[in-house]
Amino acid sequence: MEIRQLRYFVTVARTRHFGQAAEQLHMAQSPLSQAIRQLESQIGATLFHRTTRRVDLTTAGEAFLRDALRILDATDAAVERVARIGEGRSGFLRVGTTGLAAYKQLPQLARIAARELPGVELRFVPDLLTPASEAALAENRIDVALLRPPTAGAGVATRLITRERLVLAVPAAHRLAGDEPVGLDELREEDFVVYGTRDSVVDAATTHACFGAGFLPRRAHEVTETSVMLTLVAAGLGVALLPESVLALRIEGVRYVTVADDVHVDLALAWRADDDDPALAALLETLVANGFVAPVPMIAGAS
């Protein structure tokens, strides 16, 4: 039994007329009648009562019509699903993200994907530093990452999402908790709360910026999570330099102050360069079209 035979049968059943059915199917009536008789022979039952004026379904035909419609609906749905997957309009992607990006850039990405690619399911893996994101990409545990360059591993493609200035988080009662920008050289006597995790890009940027201002930050407290860092700042135990996406986090007892020096870190979208998943290609195209990522790749190893 072939799918085309089922379509022939359903068309005749709906029109109750071989001539009209043949016209809808763009074929001659004789081969259509022959195909229906062949179908009846294959299943061993008469499907139609035929008269000179009308064609009616038999009891067997009524039962077979219900099954034929289910089969054709399932076949059409399967073809549509495969087409959507092939075009990148359907699929599943795992997205890893560095901590602060989860508060600002990740919601933006999710909104764009939900609006433009509703058939693509995104699952999120939070709190990954760049080395962990690279490892997860290499081991096929995630498909896309929001990370902070530079990347060290080969085979990772990146596009810039944004360049973020660092802002200063200080206790609300701190001497620098005003509206005026603060120069880094004003922080040389301050205790710092820093990321103590190895290979933290933000920690490296903080150390490099302070060194450029003529001192090394006094690392009073080392933490692994931004929420803990801000809690310690609110408690008056130090100050912290963080990417400006931290402004999405409002913590009682913490004030954010603009840094006068041009100190920044990048945030990029990364994926396996050899990944040919149509859903990934569709997501990248959509993010570029919506201005979420730069239209050109980043230079390997650049920040």
Q: Is residue 128 domain-resident?
A: yes
State the average pLDDT for the chain: 89
Query: Averaged over 38-48, what is the pLDDT?
Result: 89
Q: Are residues 157 and 282 in the same domain?
A: yes
More confident residue, 117 or 52: 117
Q: Are residues 278 and 186 in the same domain?
A: no
Interior/surface letters 245-281, b for 16+ CB within 10 angstroms, e for the rest: bbeebebeebbbbebebebbbbbbbbbbeebebbbbe
Q: Last residue of some domain: 38, 58, 86?
A: 86
End-to-end CA distance of the chain: 61
Distance of CA 235 to the CA centre of its chain: 37
Overall domain count for the chain: 3
Closest by CA position to 138, among listed 119, 152, 120: 152
Q: Which pLDDT value is given to residue 83? A: 62
Q: Are residues 167 and 252 in the same domain?
A: yes
Q: Is residue 294 domain-resident?
A: no
In Å, how far are 29, 53, 99, 124 from 26, measured between CA atoms? 9, 21, 60, 50
Q: Which pLDDT value is given to residue 91? A: 85
Write down the residue that tokens 């059915």 correspond to: 21
Q: Is residue 298 domain-resident?
A: no
Could you list the residue range(s) of the whole structural domain that residue 209 is in? 163-265
Q: Is residue 299 domain-resident?
A: no
CA-CA-CA-CA dihedral for 227, 245, 271, 158, to nearest 10: -140
Q: Are residues 152 and 39 in the same domain?
A: no
Q: Which pLDDT value is given to residue 265? A: 94
What's at 113, amino acid-wise? A
Statement: residue 52 has pLDDT above 90: no
Question: pLDDT-derived band of residue 80, with 50, 70 and 90 as boundaries?
Answer: low
Q: Are residues 167 and 27 in the same domain?
A: no
Q: Which pLDDT value is given to residue 170? A: 98
Distance (Å, rounded) from C-alpha 83 to C-alpha 78?
9
Distance (Å, rounded) from C-alpha 13 to C-alpha 31?
16
Contact 89, 58 (CB under 8 A): no
Worst-scoring range by mean pLDDT, 127-141, 171-185, 209-223? Answer: 127-141
16 Cβ neighbours under 8 A, 6+ residues apart: 54, 55, 56
Q: Are residues 271 and 145 in the same domain?
A: yes
What is the C-alpha R_g of the chain?
32
In tens, the pLDDT along 93-139 reads 999 998 889 888 999 999 999 999 998 999 999 888 888 899 999 99
* Residue 48 phi, psi dihedral angles, 5° rounding: -130, 145
Q: Are residues 194 and 156 in the same domain?
A: no
Q: Are residues 81 and 31 in the same domain?
A: yes
Write down the residue that tokens 């302070």 correspond to: 210
Contact 137, 146 (CB under 8 A): no
Statement: residue 294 has pLDDT above 60: yes
CATH number at residue 67: 1.10.10.10
Q: Is 69 exposed, middle or buried (0-12, 13-18, 19+ CB in 10 A)?
A: middle
Q: Are residues 140 and 190 in the same domain?
A: no
Q: Is residue 295 domain-resident?
A: no
In tens, the pLDDT along 247-258 reads 988 999 999 999
In tens, the pLDDT along 219-249 reads 999 998 898 999 999 999 999 999 999 998 8
Interior/surface letters 13-22, b for 16+ CB within 10 angstroms, e for the rest: bebebbeebb
CATH number at residue 148: 3.40.190.10
Distance (Å, rounded) from C-alpha 145 to C-alpha 132?
10
Q: Is residue 63 domain-resident?
A: yes
Distance (Å, rounded) from C-alpha 92 to C-alpha 144?
11
Q: Last residue of some domain: 86, 118, 143?
A: 86
Secondary-structure percent of the chain, ordered helix, strand, coil, rounded to 5: 45, 25, 35
Q: Are residues 60 and 107 in the same domain?
A: no
Closest by CA position to 209, among listed 230, 177, 186, 232: 186
Q: Which pLDDT value is given to residue 299? A: 67
Contact 55, 49 (CB under 8 A): yes
Query: Averaged over 48-61, what is the pLDDT?
Result: 84
